[in-house]
Amino acid sequence: MTETEAAIILLSAKVALAATLFALPLAFAVAWLLARRCFVGKGLLQAIVTLPLVLPPVATGYGLLLLFGTQGPLGRLMEAVFGLTFAFRWTGAALAAGVMAFPLLVRPIRLSLEAVDRGLEEAAATLGARRIIVFLTVTLPLALPGLLAGAVLGFAKALGEFGATITFVSNIPGQTQTLSLAIYSLLQSPTGDAAALRLIVVSILLALGAVLLSEWAGRLIRRGGDGRA
């Protein structure tokens, strides 16, 4: 593996990990709202959350550019408040990946939350546990399989994200060029097939690793959560 390739792989992992980790809590919150609360715009919220899946990634990329670019309203805000710049940075790649992965995170978590037995939460409350404690000791552990499924889907998507990323942060080697972008670039040139294939294999290995890890974690959770032979 060349040094450039190693850098690309590292960057990809970093971007995908950051995207998943940051999107996860937010996705959980949204999933919780959708699973547990009744409000008027519920269907609408679910639809909005699903949008990045429906729109062509290029459109989402443009949207991100308009909102989070250095000139965009949110971009300026983030810059001013957190000193965080997205445009043409790996952070932007993570943002794009996170946005695109978001719907994939929300759905399984919502599904799991809907399946949690409310009776157990009630039981916890009768034992004196405050809401947040009930959440941490009962709801969250019981929703773990969904969280895990969402995280795997989201991570995989973040790893593979291409359209929105290239539109939002461009393809800057060493800064925003993730595996996907690199593979794409290579495939665009008549002579890039072999190099592209190498990176594709790397991608596959990364995904395999993530999936196997999640399967293993899933078994742990199930052993813990079920106990039925």
Partner 1 sequence: MGGLEVDIAGKAGSFAVSARFTAAPGVTALFGRSGAGKSTILKMIAGTARPDEGRIVSDGRVLFDAAAGIDLPVRARGIGFVFQEDRLFPHLSVRRNLTYARWAGRRAVGRPLPEVVALLGLEDHLDRLPGTLSGGERQRVAIGRALLADPRILLMDEPLSSLDRQRRAEILPYLEAVANETCIPVLYVSHETEEVARLADKVVAVEAGRVRAVGSPAEILGGEEGGETAVLLEGRVTGVDPHYETATVDIGGATVELSAPGLPMGARVRLRVRASDVAIATRPHEGLSIRNQLSCTIERVTVKGSAAEILLALGEKRLVSRITAKSAEALGLAVGQRVVALVKAVSVERARLMRPDEAVE
Partner 2 sequence: SERLTIFAAASMKDAMDRVVPAFTAESGVEAVVSLAASSVLARQIEAGAPADVYVSADVEWMDWLAERGLVREASVKTVAGNALVIVSSAAADGGVADILAHGRVAMGDPSHVPAGRYARAALSHLGLWETVRERAVFAENVRVALELARRGEAAAAIVYVSDAQAVGLSPRYTFPPESHPPILYPAAATAKAKPGAEAFLDFLAGDTGQAIFRDLGFARPATMGADGPENRTGGR
Applying CB under 8 A, the residues found at the interface with partner 1 are: 117, 119-120, 122-130, 133-134, 137-138, 141-142, 224-229
Task: Indicate which of partner 2, a copy of itself, partner 1, none lies near residue 147 (CB less than 5 to 8 Å, by partner kind).
Answer: none
Tell me the window of 36-44, 66-74, 117-125, 134-142 that interacts with partner 2 (CB under 8 A). Answer: 66-74
Which residue type occupies 99? V
Enumerate residues 6+ apart whose C-beta is below 8 A from 170.
88, 176
DSSP at 70: T
Q: Which is nearer to partner 1, 80 or 132 (CB)?
A: 132
C-alpha distances out from residue 220 to 28, 68, 74, 106, 224, Å: 21, 39, 40, 22, 6
The burial of 84, by beta-carbon neighbours within 10 Å (0-12 exposed, 13-18 middle, 19 or more buried), is given as middle
Q: Does 5 bind a copy of itself (CB under 8 A)?
A: no
**Contacting residue, 13, 107, 121, 138, with a copy of itself by CB under 8 A:** 107
* Site residues, partner 2 (CB under 8 A): 58, 61-62, 65-66, 69-72, 87-88, 166-167, 170-177, 184-192
